[in-house]
Amino acid sequence: MVALYDSVHQFEPLMPSDVAQQPLLAQAHDLGRAALQLAGTPVPAGLRALLRSMNSYHSNRIEGQHTKPFEIEQALRRDFSANRELATRQRLAVAHIEAEVALEARYVGIEGALRLYSAQAIADLHHELFGRLTPEDLNAGNADEIIPGALRTRDVSVGQHIAPAFTALPKFLQRWADVYANTRRGEAALVALAAAHHRLGWIHPFVDGNGRVMRLHTHTMLSALGYTGGLWSPLRGFARSTDRYYALLAAADEARRGDLDGRGNLSQRALVDWIGYVLSVCQDQVAFMAGMLKLGDLERRVAACLAYEEHTLRSGVRMAALRPLHYLFVTDIALARGEFKAMTGLAERTAGSMLKALLDRGLLTSETPQGPVRFGLPLHALRFYFPTLWPEAEADDEPDRRNAGH
């Protein structure tokens, strides 16, 4: 019979030694500077909303539960598939989006970040996500009943890893919280949140949903510390390197590899590799989004979208919309319809027709039939505005391209 983990020393080290941390701290320093600079970039609310959908897509994809971008878009309009399995995935996608919004509002600043390191917060994350699903969604295909926010009440194994005894979960979670909540310095806090991601998975506090909770925790922690501004998340990077993500998680479960591998029960070298991977993923996502948000490039991309609408789709959209559209993007304000039309330089009637076309195509949004307009970011415009940001959404839009002009 295999002995279960029941003593907190069995998942040490929770942080690498001071010497092993040095290159990680340098990496975290560079990440922090770049992330804070990006987080202050003004962007329209529509972009942040789209990025939440993208985060949801990628978290589900990591779990092997694929939901296409347009299916998420339909679900956000409460237009769920008649196929029960697909509808469940759609509701899970919406639950992730709504949970992100709620958690980012609840855990703010250093105080919020410190509260995230607690058993109560981990249960809160699980409940915030899974509490939005129907009982049928929760238990479809699951051997155990999933109770939102409830720690598991039986012993489990995950791959080669035998998780701690369920009776020992409170003390493992308390040790996890005590160590990481005491790591408050900027660079060290980034190293800590990467380590915490792994060690929370090692504890495996829930019967199901641990991976999603781990990723929500990391995402929410980065937001609370002011590093994301809603403009990037490591979830995209994890999903684009899923095999490596899982391989490094599994490697960091391994026992110490001899006297040169730290002084804890688990491998320090593998934990260092995992942390370095997480920091690299974050750096890649920050650099990618910084490139996407270069305003000079953006004006050119908006122009390309308008040219396609005008000359290929003949949708009623005109290049004359470039100036007000670009203005709405960089200011993230709502503009009265009359002001928008005036900025186009077109005659009143022509400008009115184009305004309607922009709204029909989702390139503008408005809360009321005659209300002010904001910059819109429909999936079909992504390939122009933010190429390679979400290529799966561009693939979904292929029928629109094939039907262009028909």
Which tens digit of pLDDT belongs to each residue from 227-249? 999 999 999 999 999 999 999 99
Query: Using one digit for the tens of pLDDT, what is the confidence trace for 3-54?
Result: 689 999 999 999 999 999 999 999 999 999 999 999 988 888 889 999 999 9
User: Would you say 214 is a known binding-site residue?
Assistant: yes
User: Would you say 207 is a known binding-site residue?
Assistant: no
What Å distances lie between residue 356 and 16, 49, 128, 351, CA to CA? Answer: 58, 23, 38, 9
Amino acid, res. 201: G
Q: What is the reported pLDDT for 140? A: 72
What distance in Å separates the CA atoms of residue 176 and residue 173, rounded to the nearest whole number? Answer: 5
Q: Which residues pair with 161 in a beta bridge?
A: 158
The maximal CA–CA distance of the chain, rounded, in angstroms, is 82
User: Would you say 257 is a known binding-site residue?
Assistant: no
Angle between helices 109-116 and 210-224 (to 10 degrees): 160
Q: DSSP string of 212-273? A: HHHHHHHHHHHHHTTS-TTS--HHHHHHTTHHHHHHHHHHTTSBP-STTS-SSSB-HHHHHH
Q: What is the reported pLDDT for 185? A: 78
What distance in Å separates the CA atoms of residue 148 and residue 282, rounded to the nearest whole number? Answer: 29
Q: What is the reported pLDDT for 398? A: 45
Q: What is the reported pLDDT for 397? A: 54
User: Would you say 57 is a known binding-site residue?
Assistant: no
Q: What is the DSSP letter of 2?
A: P
Q: What is the reported pLDDT for 370? A: 94
* Residues making up the chain, counted from first to last: 406
Domains of the chain and any CATH numbers: 41-243 (1.10.3290.10), 295-402 (1.10.10)
How far the first Cα of the chain sits from its last, in Å, is 68
User: Would you say 217 is a known binding-site residue?
Assistant: no
What distance in Å separates the CA atoms of residue 250 and residue 376, rounded to the nearest whole number? Answer: 41
User: Would you say 209 is a known binding-site residue?
Assistant: yes
Q: Residue ranges of the chain with pLDDT lower than 50? A: 1, 398-406
What distance in Å separates the CA atoms of residue 291 and residue 314, rounded to the nearest whole number? Answer: 30
User: Would you say 226 is a known binding-site residue?
Assistant: no
Catalytic residue among 58, 96, 197, 204: 204
Q: Which residues pair with 151 in a beta bridge?
A: none
User: Would you say 213 is a known binding-site residue?
Assistant: yes
Please say whether the beta carbons of 115 and 121 come within 8 A. Answer: yes
31: tokens are: 């990440």
What distance in Å separates the CA atoms of residue 194 and residue 105, rounded to the nearest whole number? Answer: 22
DSSP H helix total and E strand total for the chain: 20, 4
360: tokens are: 């029909």
Please say whether the beta carbons of 233 and 220 come within 8 A. Answer: no
| pTM of the complete model | 0.91
Q: What is the reported pLDDT for 218? A: 98
User: Would you say 159 is a known binding-site residue?
Assistant: yes
Please say whether the beta carbons of 63 and 15 come within 8 A. Answer: no
User: Would you say 215 is a known binding-site residue?
Assistant: yes
- Count the Cβ atoms, other than its own, within 10 Å of residue 83: 10
Decide if 204 is catalytic: yes
Q: What is the reported pLDDT for 3? A: 64
Q: What is the reported pLDDT for 401? A: 40
User: Would you say 158 is a known binding-site residue?
Assistant: yes
